[in-house]
Structure 1
Amino acid sequence: MTNARLRYGRASLALSFLVQGVTFALLVTRIPAIQDRYGISDGLLPVFLAAVPVLAGVASVATEKVVARVRPAVLLRWAQPVVMLALLGVGAGDEVWQAAVALGVFGLAVGALDASMNMMGVSLQRAYGRSIMLGFHAAYSLGGIAGASLAWSGAHWDLPLLVSYLPAVVLLLPAALLGSRWYTTGGEDGAPAVEGAGAVLPAAGEGTGRAGESGTAGEAGKGPGGPPVPFGLLMPLCLVMAFAYIGDSTVSNWSAKYLQDVLGGSEQLATVPYNVYMVTTLLGRAVGDLGVRRLGAVAVVRGGSVLAAAGFGVVAVAPGPWWGMLGFTLLGLGLCVIVPQTFAAAGRLFPGASDVAVARLNVFNYVGFLVGSPLVGALGDVWSYRGAMLVPMVLVLATLVYARSFGAEPARYGGGHERARTADVG
């Protein structure tokens, strides 16, 4: 596989991550407007919100079976437009049942989308022979910032949901479909990617799978001809994924309330922590791959865990809103590296069945999202919100116990950890 083909594949996948960041932010940041449009009661709203990650988890499990028959690139190519059209459906309906159907389709499609995107990211990282996974998630963070900004504009100008969503979908849907023409992974037709200047040979012991997709057709579970994915071996990474998303959902759902009600910040200032968190997440992911290449994945994950735990600690003891802002800044810089490296570690632990491992691991993304917000809310009500912040702090610190799962020797890229028989392809 030529350098140019890999670079085009990397750019097209980064575009998909960015588009998904925009789409998801447009949905979650306009939840109050969705509730108002459909007249959804406060009691019913949590059911709607919980249904999306539950259905996404179901779809992620199903994706494991689907990619035994079709390549992740094919699944991603068609799941992304469905997600965007479902977003339009959320903005276009009038009846509660229409919102339920649109959100249900969104949840199912987003589960397949998240799983297939990360499958391809893991496979491309193997083809490159160095850490690039954080860069894809940086594109997602950038899309999230753009989507949140668009949503703010729609709310500021009091635009109907459909009018607010339509320009983004009209612009990004064709771009995503066009970019999907260059989706690629490691090689073609099951052969190692050796043709062309600067080609990449898989490291010793790493299978290529059909189309070089490190776990495509024939790798479901123990799959036809595929190696098994023991749940016990994957479980540490599943826990890390859940812990990271409990921390992330804590920030996204409670940072504004915490800054205003607990730390005494103004209503306007209370909107800032999540934006700061998103920006620092983008910055951390933008430079994170360099850190992995220089220091190794274990050191980066350990450093991110300690930094995120320190952030929760600062938030918990903050005497005022500006100290709280510092805590949320540390949180963004720390948490941002954990999820991409968890996907990458799953690919390295199961080089012949990475698609299966990623699909199963992706479920715990939604587990953490479902657990995090209610957990902090319940603890805040029965104890205190300051005390509630200590729970995600402890969970993030628990990642240190599982840090060795990120550090199989063949997994270290770049610098002193570069694997043999690889070439830099840009």
Structure 2
Amino acid sequence: MTAPLAPGAQLRHGRVSLALSFFVQGAVFALLVTRIPAIQDRYGISDGLLPVFLAAVPVLAGVGSIVTEQLVKRVRPSRVLRCVQPMVCLALPAVGSVGSMAQVAVALAAFGLAVGALDASMNMLGVSLQRAYGRSIMLGFHAAYSLGGIVGASLAWAGAHWKLSLGLLYGPVVAVLVPLAVVVGRWFVDQRDVAGPGRPEPVQSAEAIPGPSGPTSASQAPAASAAAVTPVAMRLLLPLCLVMAFAYIGDSTVSNWSAKYLQDVLGSSEQLATVPYNVYMVTTLLGRAVGDLGVRRFGAVAVVRCGTVVAAGGFAVVAAAPGAWAGMAGFTLLGLGLCVIVPQTFAAAGRYAYDSQGAGASDMAVARLNIFNYVGFLIGSPLVGALGDAWSYRGAMLVPMALVLVTLVYARSFGAPRAGYGDRHERPRTADVG
């Protein structure tokens, strides 16, 4: 086995800039979703109409991801991200300061479309950078997103505590985030930046590159990626799409039902009921911060299996919890378990498409997979609510547990058995390359 090339300055700058982009998106998204009640009150959105508004955003985000799949056939993902991230940031003050319900609906629609393109292009760049590094770094990007979410949620709490208007809360934050997004966008790096004419492809060693019909030389890879791209058949990506959807059903269960569950089912105080989601976000950050080390040491398959079992155990603890603190422990386990699944699902889809069809197919596969992020988000909250009302909320927690456990069936899809990468101190069978 040949050790991967050491990352150059361009790749290091690309990695830092992309991590900052993930951080910005995490902060913006948290600032929006945690202030939904204030948005509802400001514009007089009824309880019956609110679910329509909330469902429209992920639906339009899915449309944005589909558009991005077609767009990256002609435009680099880095350019897409450079354009849409400021748009997502600017949607915040628009949501907080427009004058009517119709106008806020337009602002939320623009946010949904742009955020779909942003999520897809960010993960495309993350997958290609991981491939260039030759080792797992994808979890680190999602850790930056989690950190941004914690910062955004904290700012939202401060705004609510000091009774700031939405415009006063969002305006100064966006005044900082938009210039940051514009500046870091100058250093984004995608596959076509690091594998241009006359430059060796840092993604691969001089050894064989796995392909659909056997190994090809590294010198052939750029030419292959420049050819017309045939997208990977959806049926081949379906296992990873299901894993993505089920992971987000679990995630949306925590974000939408943890407070109600702790207060109504486990009898906690109103103040304590706000804690589980914060604990969940912190453990998600911690799990992702160290997750790449686990992937490098034990392999993606082992890490995903472990995360799945821990997440399922968390749901089981929540369902059986005799009291609030036991429920809190269950939500803590959920954060540690679920946090590794989504980044590794993007990495696995990108790797499989790249091995089959090249870099362009990898970008398209990531965009398709990203749609199931929103599918899971749309299904999770109403599914648990309907089961809770018809049956019991304890029993409802067992359904996302069972869905998450399906990941064990497809765990082998996360491996890279043919990849010829890995530092010399790493085991060949454990190298995970997006």
Q: Which amino acid in the other structure matches residue 328 of structure 2? A: M
Indicate the SS of the match to 1:356.
helix
Query: Does the Cα contact within 8 Å between 2:295 and 2:430 map onto a contact in 1?
Result: no
Choose which of 38, 42, 62 in structure 2 pairs with 1:57.
62
Q: Is the Cα contact below 8 Å between 1:185 and 1:212 reproduced in 2?
A: no
Name the structure 2 match of 1:260: 263
Q: Structure 1 residue 287: deviation in Å?
A: 0.3
1:347 alignment partner in structure 2:
350
User: Structure 2 matches for 1:144-155, cutoff 5 A?
Assistant: 144-155=149-160
Contact 2:280–2:334, Cα closer than 8 Å, also in 1: yes
**The one of 18, 38, 42 aligned to 2:43:** 38
CA distance in 2, matches of 1:213, 1:146: 43
Alignment match, 1:376: 384
**What is aligned with 1:180?**
185
Match of 1:366 in 2: 374
**Paired residues of 2:64 and 2:117 also in contact (CA < 8 A):** yes
Taking structure 1 as reference, are residues 192 and 160 closer, same or farther at Cα in structure 2, changes over 3 Å only?
farther
- Of 189, 194, 200, which aligns to 1:194? 200
* 1:324 to 2:331 alignment: no
Partner Cα separation in structure 2 for residue 322 and residue 188 of structure 1: 50
| Equivalent AA in structure 1 for residue 393 of structure 2 | Y
Q: Secondary structure at the match of 2:228?
A: coil
Paired with 2:320 and 2:394, the residues of 1 have a C-alpha distance of 7
- Give the CA deviation at 1:211: 11
Match of 1:350, SS? helix
Once the two structures are TM-superposed, the CA of residue 328 in structure 1 deviates from its matched residue by 0.3
1:132 corresponds, among 122, 127, 137, to: 137
SS in structure 1 of the partner of residue 347 of structure 2:
helix
- Could you tell me how far 1:190 is from its partner in structure 2? 3.6
Structure 2 residue matching 1:301: 3-state secondary structure:
helix
Verify the 8 A CA contact 2:300 2:430 in the aligned structure 1.
no
Mapped to 1, the partners of 2:258 and 2:333 lie a distance apart of 13
* Counterpart for residue 72 of structure 1: 77
Paired with 1:191 and 1:343, the residues of 2 have a C-alpha distance of 27
Q: How many residues align?
A: 411
* Inter-partner Cα distance in structure 2 for 1:26 and 1:192: 45
Q: CA deviation at 1:213?
A: 12
Q: Residue 121 of structure 2 aligns with which residue?
A: 116
Q: Which of 238, 248, 253 does residue 251 from structure 2 map onto?
A: 248
- Distance in 1 (CA, whole Å) between partners of 2:244 and 2:222 is 26
Query: How far is the alpha carbon of 1:315 from its aligned partner?
Result: 0.1
Q: Structure 2 length as normaliser, TM-score?
A: 0.90
**Structure 2 residue identity aligned to 1:233:** L
Deviations 1:150-206 (A, max 9, x none): 0000001110001111121111110111011111134446448538xxx55356136
Report the Cα offset of residue 408 of structure 1: 2.9
C-alpha separation between the residues in 1 aligned to 2:223 and 2:284?
Answer: 28
Q: d(CA) in 2 for partners of 1:86 and 1:267? A: 31
Matches within 5 A, 1:214-229: 225-229=228-232
**Structure 1 gap segments, 5+ residues each:** 219-223
The aligned amino acid for 2:71 is V
CA displacement 1:247-295 (0-9 Å, x = unmatched): 0000000000000000010000000000000000000000000000001
Provide the C-alpha distance between the structure 1 equivalents of 2:403 and 2:204, rounded to a whole number of angstroms.
Answer: 38
Taking a change above 3 Å as real, the CA distance of residues 392 and 401 of structure 1, as seen in their structure-2 partners, is same
Q: How far is 1:3 from its partner?
A: 1.1
> Percent of counterpart pairs with the same letter?
72
Q: Deviations over 1:82-134 (max 9, x none)?
A: 00111110001120001100000000000000000000000000000000000
**Cross-structure match for 1:221:** none
Residues 116 and 383 of structure 1: CA distance in aligned 2, closer, same or farther (over 3 Å): same
2:422 is aligned with 1:416: no
The structure-2 alpha-carbon separation of the partners of 1:211 and 1:48, relative to structure 1 and needing over 3 Å to count, comes to: farther
Structure 1 match to 2:242 = 239
Which one of 391, 397, 402 corresponds to residue 405 of structure 2?
397
Q: Choose the corresponding residue for 1:289, options 289, 292, 297.
A: 292
Equivalent-residue separation in structure 2 for 1:213 and 1:139 (angstroms): 34
Match of 1:23 in 2: 28
Candidates 148, 153, 169, aligned match of 1:164: 169
Q: In structure 2, do the counterparts of structure 1 residues 73 and 209 end up closer, same or farther at CA, with 3 Å as the change threshold?
A: farther
Return the alpha-carbon distance in structure 1 between the equivalents of residues 348 and 220 of structure 2. Answer: 21
1:83 counterpart residue number: 88
- For 1:56 and 1:88, how far apart are their aligned partners in 2? 19
- Residue 166 and residue 364 in structure 1: after superposition, are their counterparts in 2 closer, same or farther (change >3 A)? same
8 Å Cα contact 1:190/1:211 also seen in 2:
no
Q: Normalising by the residue count of structure 1, what TM-score does the alignment of the two structures yield? A: 0.92
Question: 1:247 and 1:159 mapped to 2: Cα distance?
Answer: 32
Mapped to 2, the partners of 1:391 and 1:404 lie a distance apart of 23
Deviations 1:344-383 (A, max 9, x none): 0001101111001000000000000000000000000000
Equivalent residue for 2:13? 8
Listed as ranges, the gaps of 5+ residues in structure 2 are: none
What is the alpha-carbon root mean square deviation over aligned residues?
Answer: 2.3
